[in-house]
Structure 1
């Protein structure tokens, strides 16, 4: 993990493999904890803001306080999601009120372990004692007559310190390549998050990111891309 922290701090991006991540989350087996964690994506709610722009996306959101030194995780009150200034041109000055995480999701031990891991990684970028984590589970859907758009805003920053994407599931899907760039446009990393548990980390202050459209492999069935996006800012 120290090598990962150093690389994140110096290069602005790091990819943790699925076996490493799932071992650290105590979710190695195909069933058990990981299956229970992934099942939360079957209870996401429609994203009305994406639907208004023609997108097909399900999501929820939640906020937590994370203390890396002690590993303490504390849920915060549910409030509308406000995109930081100058980060998402699609939703300038728009407070988006998404459905909250379910109580089972909030209490999930895999989520709690992930937040502790991300809190430790974030201290490589800024040595804060407490972080606020915004947790966004996404399910992007695509069909033969409509691509799925994980990042309809295009290449962007989230206006945070640490940004992360955790692969959860992927069915009948092609595309969905995650790319991280320097502010000058040089590509630092491009990867398709296909294996559940793969975790992409980025220093959001120093990089920009985007995800290519998702399309179905079999046009007769929908494509599904399940990802957990978690961002951290100093509390």
Structure 2
């Protein structure tokens, strides 16, 4: 079983049982979090109960990331005694920090509360201190992520930016070839594509010149102006590499 198999049942639970307006995944390295009014409900996923999972949950509580913090494990983890399965030091930690427990039955796609989370006042303190909210880490693709996915499987701001630029240049090359033969300046690209960079013009210029991106992007300089264009002829190997996506990030 993989962690990401727990995501859909937990997502449905947040929507249907908690009443969250929106649910996101892989924001600030949090597996899942839902918004319910002004409250953030955080859920960390693991295929088995471990101190690593508890450590993650405790960190979320201490940092005030979530108003309610849960851990979610497969239902098989809690069989043979229900909450008594979480005993000793584990139970002490869960009780002390007010961490809730969800059990997930993957075959039926359902999640159930074994122990409700307590309101985390550290989240209120965090807001009073003017610290950033996890909501500020939400990206346009956060709803489409799958919680519990491995690092290489998740979308990042860099990947999203690159994919947007690829799409922009590809469409310019295919449908507007008569307009400067598909060539675009960085300023023209930025009119269409949003980026996560503080200095977008300089950063986009740099990433398009990376060797990894030269597979699909060609460039030229006319006077002092740089132009970029999607390569119209790519080998099957190049196309395969594009489908996998570049993993180099800055």
TM band (smaller chain): under 0.3
Structure 1 or 2: more helix by fraction: 2
Q: Which has the higher contact order (CA 8 A, sep 6+)?
A: 1
Instruction: Indicate the structure (1 or 2) with the bigger Cα radius of gyration.
Output: 2
- Structure 1 length-normalised TM: 0.26
TM-score where L is the length of structure 2: 0.25
Greater strand percent: which structure? 1
